[in-house]
Amino acid sequence: MSQQAKYIVFYGRVQGVGFRFTAMNIANRCELTGYVRNRSDGAVEMFAQGNGEDISDCIRDIRESFAGYIQDVKTKDVPYDQNYENFKITF
């Protein structure tokens, strides 16, 4: 399995609705490493790495869980970072 890493930004009403906690749980279920955190512009950013299919599943599940809240999602391939051993909420 090839390991991938993606930087994802979720736009919309994604702060103050349990988004980060839910995203962390989904990412952990998908066995990803990385982080999720709020941005000062009201968006939520996520760095997720693992199997490419698992990352896609994670993004899909987050989109489904917050379908009424997410207006847009931007993703970008980024270098894999071996320093992450788990997935967590950061500040």
Active site residues: 20, 38
Asked if residue 67 lies in contact with residue 17, where contact means CB atoms within 8 angstroms, the answer is: no
Q: Which amino acid is at 80?
A: Y
Count of positions (residues) in the chain = 91
Which ranges of the chain would DSSP assign to H, the alpha helix?
19-29, 52-65
Reduced to 3 states (helix: H, G, I; strand: E, B; else coil), residue 45 is strand
